[in-house]
Amino acid sequence: MLEQFRIIVVDDDQPHLEALCSQLQEAGFDVNGFSDSTVALEQLTSQRFDVLFIRLQLTGVDGIELVQRAQQLDPDLSTVLITDQGSIKTAIDALKFGVLDYVLMPLKLSELMQVTNRAIQMRKLRLENTQLIRDLSNSNLRLREMNHELDHFAGRVAHDLNSLCHIIQGFAGSLTRRAYNKLDEQEQRYLLRINEASARGSQLVSDLLAFARLGSGELQFNQVVLNEVVEKARALVELKEGLRKADWSIAILPDIDGDESLLELVFVNLFSNALKFSQIRELPTIVVEANVLDDVVEIKVIDNGAGFDPERAEGLFKPFHRLHNPHDFEGHGMGLANVKRIVERHGGYIKATSAPDKGAVFTLTLPIRGATPPNR
């Protein structure tokens, strides 16, 4: 094991250099000695060494500078200074520059062996450490690539499914317009089910598509007038939900930096949930509150609906996670997953609090002045 470690010694005191080299050789190390620092540096550039022994007071050369050059060439190199009593302070100071240790002249064999073994142990550790960091960053890179591939794949599938849903929706729509009145009641119900299912399929697919894009796509940051976005989201949700009504109260919100269409998607999702889960009330209410704290805004979307059991809410923001029975409240569980991704990509976070039958509060915290959009 030991012989694979290579030692380079730089000392312009020829007899001393020879003595040190032969001591190390006798101890079984592969040793190369140089009295000329320029030649030594050439060797360090062209070959791999594990330990450098270097005389601090080389004539005409700054030993420390040479050490730094050597360490630039190989940051994992173990360096040991050879010094005399007179320069001990300089040697100690040199430890700051990454020098591992020093040996005092005249050299004692036992001390030399101890220092050499320690230098080799340190070299081994440093090499292992560097390898670990390299492995870690390689697997990080691979993971990122795989994530991108997965998002790309999901996007591809969602895109194709979207086209299929549109075809079904299109033909079901034509059939409804042209033949609805010719159909008996049962057939009309079938047609209605096809219409509903294809609309739901199309919504699911577009949510999946958004989710995949949010994983890797770029965000378009601009100044966003949040109150306009919120009003637009409310109008969209009311239009889509048609028969569902609520008493709305929306506070004044600050303008923030963000991706307008994605922020709109956040509120569309939160409002459509609030509207859906509050329909069990005689008077459904939806309240939007805002609180500006230094450089962030905290926005609460509060409803008086069915609420949920916080004990079961752990995966609330994960894809397809639903806390209610689909027979009571329809949906596919992608809305909050998208909301979370969007909020986090704006450098914010979201949490939800509730109790069964006590309504729900979704609190988003968003930076007001977003720095550069965090693209992945």
Ligand X SMILES: Nc1ncnc2c1ncn2[C@@H]1O[C@H](COP(=O)(O)OP(=O)(O)O)[C@@H](O)[C@H]1O
Whole-angstrom distance between the N-terminal and C-terminal Cα of the chain?
44
Q: 102 or 362: whose CB is closer to ligand X?
A: 362
Q: Which amino acid is at 344?
A: E
- What is d(CA 339, CA 351) in angstroms, rounded to the nearest whole number? 11
Q: From the list Mg ion, ligand X, none, which binds 307 (C-beta under 5 to 8 Å, kind-based)?
A: ligand X
Per CB under 5 A, 305 contacts Mg ion? no
Residue closest to Mg ion when measured from CB atoms: 335
H or E element at residue 23? helix 14-26
Q: Which amino acid is at 32?
A: N
Q: 7 or 265: whose CB is closer to Mg ion?
A: 265
Per CB under 5 A, 335 contacts Mg ion? yes
| Residues making contact with ligand X (CB under 6 A) | 269, 273-274, 277, 303, 305-308, 316, 321-324, 331-337, 360
Q: 237 or 256: whose CB is closer to Mg ion?
A: 237
Per CB under 5 A, 278 contacts Mg ion? no
Which range, of 124-132, 243-251, 268-276, 297-305, touches Mg ion by CB under 5 A?
268-276
x/- mask, Mg ion, residues 71-100, rule CB under 5 A, reads ------------------------------
Q: 219 or 337: whose CB is closer to Mg ion?
A: 337
- What is d(CA 277, CA 244) in angstroms, rounded to the nearest whole number? 10
Per the rule left: phi > 0, alpha: psi between -120 and 50, beta: everything else, 290 is beta
| 148-178 CB burial, b ≥16 within 10 A, e <16 | eeebeebbeebeebbeebeebbeebeeebee
Q: Quote the DSSP letter at residue 134.
A: H
In the list 37, 273, 304, 354, the residue contacting Mg ion (rule: CB under 5 A) is 273
Contacting residues toward Mg ion, per CB under 5 A: 273, 335
